Amino acid sequence: MVRIKNRYIAVQIVPFTPTQSLRLNDNSLAKILLQNVEKYHGVYGLGMIEQGFRVKYINDRTKIAIIRCLHRGQRFVSSILPLITLIGDVRAKFRTLYIGATIIQCNKFIVKHQKQFLDRAMGQITSAKERQDLFKRVMELDMDR
């Protein structure tokens, strides 16, 4: 038996105009990604990644998602991410943050990334309440799915 190797891609969705929520769930994001893979890599590319492809985690507020795909199809997914300009009906782009082999490593990276973002953002906020709100909003990570 050979172990099935997965790759987890952590991406950040950057909307063209700043919005509170993207109104996206994991299924619709997966559908959009698969459509784009078919557009750029054809039926062959779609067939290579379809098995094991899943959006494991998406956070509407922090706009961070984790995509799982097979190790051998990783190239097909990561190569189309910079080419996507329209997510659903919102103008947005993907920023690939990290590609890891386990979801735990991905999670660790996201926590680190969000902490760095907090460090930068905290300096500009004066009131303690706003700081607490920002902290809550940025560090919102529920990995129950």
Partner 1 sequence: MSGYQYLDVKLKLRDPDSVTLTPVFLCGCILNSLASIFGEIGGQTALEIVKFSSSQKRSIFRVPEAFLERVRIAISLIGYYQEEPCHFQVLSTSRKPLDFEEPDAEFIAFN
Q: Can you say how many angstroms the Cα of residue 78 is from the centroid of all Cα atoms in its chain?
A: 11
What span, in angstroms and rounded, lies between the C-alpha atoms of 106 and 37? 22
Among 23, 39, 136, 137, binds partner 1 (CB under 8 A): 39
Choose between 41 and 68: whose C-beta lies nearer to partner 1.
Answer: 41
Question: What residues between 62 and 81 interact with partner 1 by CB under 8 A?
Answer: 79-80
- 8 Å CB contact between 121 and 134: yes
Choose between 16 and 44: whose C-beta lies nearer to partner 1.
Answer: 44
Among 1, 2, 4, 43, binds partner 1 (CB under 8 A): 43
Can residue 42 be called a binding residue for partner 1 (CB under 8 A)?
yes
Token pair of 24, please? 């996206």
What span, in angstroms and rounded, lies between the C-alpha atoms of 125 and 133? 11
- 8 Å CB contact between 98 and 134: no
Can residue 16 be called a binding residue for partner 1 (CB under 8 A)?
no
Can residue 44 be called a binding residue for partner 1 (CB under 8 A)?
yes
